[in-house]
Amino acid sequence: MQGCDIHTIDSTGIFTKGTGGVYPRSKGWDTIKFTHVVLDENRIHDIGKNAIIVRQLDGGTVQRNTVWDTAYRCESGNQVFARSCFGTVFQYNEGYLNRATADMDGSAFDADLESPATIWQYNYSHDNKFTANITDDPMLIEPGSGSIGLGTLGGYRLQSLSACSKAGFPIANQGSQDFWENPLRLGSPDIGAHQSPAEPPRSRLRR
């Protein structure tokens, strides 16, 4: 599904659900799984509950979707979430204005139950009911400058003297680039979505 404008729905914007339920890749999975599913560049808004729920996907991609004004007619509902999926990639999605009023499920993205090996990367959540708070100053270029659209986030890159520089820990299968498509360098990464460029190698002079 690509390029659709989905709006004014009393329940969920897009969802997949087969019959029955088993843990991904266990016995019976092949009879209920969905394969080759792609949800790309859809706009989903004025939604009673969730914008996107994907269940029983084996692989597949959910990317570059923009969702807003959700959970309008219920107490809670995360905007984009997975349930019983394997290896699905969620990337470059934007979610904002989740209107949830309950004290749970009011965020943009949720890797929910039984979703091993799913990948969540390069997504943008803002102006939702539940968000993470950062107490220390990470020394961003222009914090608070982001608005609607992934292209507005340049101010959230790190300044050169940030304490977050080289303060992270490398992990396995961490990908090859940061949020702004800068290549990841070897060794200790920066903390956060932005990775500063690798230092050029020092030249060795022969005597």
pLDDT at position 207, please?
46
pLDDT at position 171, please?
84
Q: Final residue of a domain: which of 83, 98, 132? A: 132
Please, which pLDDT band fits residue 202 given cuts at 50, 70 and 90? low
Examine the pLDDT at 46 and tell me if it is beyond 50: yes
**Residue 206 is assigned to a structural domain of this protein:** no
In this structure, are 78 and 139 located in the same domain? no
Q: Which of 57, 55, 54, 56 is nearest to 93 (CA)?
A: 54
In this structure, are 73 and 159 located in the same domain? no
Identify the residue with better confidence: 172 or 31.
31
**Residue 13 is assigned to a structural domain of this protein:** yes
In this structure, are 118 and 75 located in the same domain? yes
The tens digit of pLDDT for each residue in 123-163 reads: 999 998 776 666 689 999 999 999 999 999 999 999 989 99
In this structure, are 113 and 160 located in the same domain? no
Question: Is the CB of residue 122 less than 8 Å from the CB of residue 61?
Answer: no
Q: Which of 44, 43, 105 is nearest to 74 (CA)?
A: 105
Question: What's the whole-number mean pLDDT along residues 49-63?
Answer: 97
In this structure, are 147 and 126 located in the same domain? no
Question: What's the whole-number mean pLDDT along residues 65-94?
Answer: 94
**Residue 9 is assigned to a structural domain of this protein:** yes
Q: What is the DSSP letter of 140?
A: B
pLDDT at position 176, please?
87
Question: What's the whole-number mean pLDDT along residues 8-15?
Answer: 95
C-alpha distance across the termini of the chain, in Å: 64
**Residue 205 is assigned to a structural domain of this protein:** no
Q: Final residue of a domain: which of 132, 154, 171? A: 132
Domain with 171, as residue range(s), is 133-197
**Residue 207 is assigned to a structural domain of this protein:** no
In this structure, are 57 and 70 located in the same domain? yes
pLDDT at position 199, please?
62
Identify the residue with better confidence: 71 or 20.
71
Q: Final residue of a domain: which of 132, 161, 184? A: 132
Q: Is the pTM of this model over 0.85?
A: yes
Identify the residue with better confidence: 66 or 76.
66
Which residues face 45 on adjacent strands?
7, 68
Q: Which of 117, 105, 109, 76 is nearest to 92 (CA)?
A: 109
Average pLDDT score, the chain:
90
Question: Is the CB of residue 157 less than 8 Å from the CB of residue 180?
Answer: yes
In this structure, are 124 and 141 located in the same domain? no
**Residue 204 is assigned to a structural domain of this protein:** no
How many alpha carbons lie under 13 Å from residue 4 in its C-beta half-sphere?
14
In this structure, are 128 and 145 located in the same domain? no
In this structure, are 126 and 176 located in the same domain? no
Query: Number of structural domains, the chain?
Result: 2
Question: Is the CB of residue 118 less than 8 Å from the CB of residue 62?
Answer: no
Examine the pLDDT at 204 and tell me if it is beyond 80: no
pLDDT at position 156, please?
93
**Residue 203 is assigned to a structural domain of this protein:** no
pLDDT at position 135, please?
64
Q: What type of residue sits at position 115?
A: S
Residues whose CB falls within 8 Å of the CB of residue 151, separated by 6 or more in sequence, listed in order: none
Examine the pLDDT at 200 and tell me if it is beyond 60: no
**Residue 50 is assigned to a structural domain of this protein:** yes
In this structure, are 124 and 154 located in the same domain? no
In this structure, are 23 and 121 located in the same domain? yes
Supply 123's token pair.
Answer: 């997504």
Q: Which of 109, 117, 71 is nearest to 91 (CA)?
A: 109
In this structure, are 116 and 185 located in the same domain? no
